[in-house]
Amino acid sequence: MAGGANTLYSQGVELAVRVIELLEINRDLVLARELIYKKYDFNPKAREMATVITNEVGRRWGVINRMIEEVQEEPLEKSSSLLRAVLRVGAFEVYYNNKHPNYFIKALTPFFKKKRVRRGFLNRLRHVLFGIQKFRIKPSADIVEWAFWHMFFPKWAAERLIEQFGQEKAIKLMEAMNQHPAMAVRVNTQKIEVRELASRFIERYNYELEISQIYPFIKLSKTYPVMRTPEYEAGLFTVQDPNTAVGVSKLIKILPEKASILDACAAPGRKSSMIRQLRPDIRLICNDISMMRMKKLVDEFNRLNLPLPDLIISDAAQLPLKQQFDTVHADLPCSGSGTWGKHPERKWLTTPTRYLECVETQRKLIRALVPYVKPNRYLLFSTCSIWKEENEENVKWIEENFPFKCIEMKRMDPSGGSTGFFYALLKRIC
């Protein structure tokens, strides 16, 4: 290989190791990458390489951990955080990318010198990676064991999917969440038409795309660096999955002129800004419990040059409000299981009972929010979860305990690299 290519690979795997080490602390792969990429000014192609590697390590997190532990015959926790990160990235590169252990170790030599790693560190690394090179997955007729090794799903998650959807659909869902994440943008039609932005993307950047059936979205064939374009800086679009917009699209078509909406868990503001963009006549109040997340909402509205809504920073279960609204938009905290394709590490770093904790929180919030809905007006409830307990069963619970009737409910399973999403539009009947 040429020296430049060697340098690029060396930078790419160093960034990947740094990201994976930080991931153990903050448990958010996107945030870990953002922080590391800001700190280390490496070649953009090295960042692209590190993004691919860390995505795939995150996708296989539990599988890679088990491979390493079987080879070294002791828990990973006995190693330092740096060695754990190097082993995880190295195991992926050796086993899944067919890199020779010595090639991988040599690529990290400059990094090891900076870190002043000792001979024992290198000996352990070399021993484990050569063991990984010889590792073979044992055949198994057990579907859950097969899903662990080949679909890269925790056993508890595979079991739940099979229990809720049956084996055939569960496998399809796992396959969908292993597809390369799709990318889509919502065009800011206050500034530019959909077809005009699509033409710019094609002519200026050679992006492959199609105009979505969901207005006003453009679907891109892969993850392009759209947020580094002048068009993004000018506020001509925002990055958003079209699935997450279907409920809002339905809602704004049926609301009367100058209606009022309380967006109860609004930040970071993708759906809120869509409401403001497509229905500027609506009086919009946005609430979120997090000051930091609310700042992101404000930044998003300002970048898109949209008028700011009224803002409240409060626990949605204890809002300081007395008036009622034409709609309460309750896009509630959830397990995020529908986003496992875009955030593959989350299925490994969550707990099997996380969804139950979320249901408890969701019902607490719903109980507090339903009084804010005017008679004969709407509650728009949504999550990015695939679990029925957080979705259909919550809708049933609302109908059984409050004067609401579901008039539309839709589950959008993860597919084609898109996020899984659920929404229900309920009408207050008295």
Q: Please report whether residue 261 resides in a domain.
A: yes
Contact (Cβ atoms closer than 8 angstroms) between residue 387 and residue 403: no
Question: Do 42 and 65 belong together in one domain?
Answer: yes
Binding residues for S-adenosyl-L-methionine: 288, 315, 331
The verdict on 34 and 121 lying in the same domain is yes
What tens digit of pLDDT does each residue of 209-238 get?
A: 999 999 999 999 988 989 999 999 999 999
The CATH code of the domain that includes 232 is 3.30.70.1170
Question: What is d(CA 343, CA 28) in angstroms, rounded to the nearest whole number?
Answer: 8
Confidence of residue 3 (pLDDT cuts 50, 70, 90): low
- The confidence band for 417, taking pLDDT boundaries of 50, 70 and 90, is confident
Report d(CA 296, CA 336) in Å as an integer: 20
Give yes or no: residues 83 and 152 share one domain: no
Same domain, residue pair 383 and 256: yes
Considering Cα of 285, then 287, then 291, then 297, what sign does the dihedral take?
negative
Span 117-140, average pLDDT: 96
Residue-level pLDDT at 262: 99
pLDDT exceeds cutoff 80 at 147: yes
Containing domain of residue 47, as a range? 3-133
User: What pLDDT, on the 0 to 100 scale, is given for residue 210?
Assistant: 97
**The domain that contains 369 carries what CATH number?**
3.40.50.150
Q: Does any domain span residue 138?
A: no
Question: Do both 232 and 126 map to the same domain?
Answer: no
pLDDT number for residue 400: 98
**Which tops the pLDDT comparison, 194 or 140?**
194
Catalytic residues: 384
**11-21 pLDDT, tens digit each:** 999 999 999 99
Inside any domain, residue 66: yes
Report the alpha-carbon angle 259-262-263, nearest 5. Answer: 125
Kindly state whether residues 123 and 202 are assigned to the same domain: no
What's the pLDDT at 305? 98
The maximal CA–CA distance of the chain, rounded, in angstroms, is 74
Q: Is 304 domain-assigned?
A: yes
Is the same domain home to 412 and 321?
yes
Residue 393 has pLDDT above 90, yes or no: yes
156 and 123 in a common domain = no
Asked if residue 416 has pLDDT above 90, the reply is no
**Taking all residues of the chain, what is their mean pLDDT, rounded to a whole number?**
96
Q: Are residues 249 and 235 in the same domain?
A: no
Residues 257 and 399 in one domain: yes
- Domain stops at, among 192, 207, 239: 239
What average pLDDT does the segment 39-62 reach? 96
**What is the mean predicted confidence (pLDDT) over 86-95?**
99
Give the pLDDT band (50/70/90) at residue 5: low
One domain, residues 299 and 421: yes
Q: Identify the pLDDT of residue 4.
A: 61
For the entire predicted model, the pTM comes to 0.93
Is 113 found in the same domain as 169? no
* Residue 19 belongs to some domain of the structure: yes
Q: Tell me the CA distances in angstroms from 152 to 13, 39, 98, 145, 249, one per residue in order.
A: 22, 31, 18, 10, 34
For 237-272, write each residue's pLDDT tens digit: 999 999 999 999 999 999 999 999 999 999 999 999
Residue 128 has pLDDT above 70, yes or no: yes
Interval 359-387: pLDDT, tens: 999 999 999 999 999 999 999 999 999 99
Residue 170 pLDDT exceeds 70: yes
What integer pLDDT is reported at residue 223 of this predicted model? 85
H or E element, residue 375: strand 373-383
How far apart are alpha carbons 159 and 143 in whole angstroms?
9
Name the percent of the chain in helix, strand, coil, to the closest 5. Answer: 55, 15, 30
Task: Look at the chain and report how many structural domains it folds into.
Answer: 4
Binding residue positions: 288, 315, 331
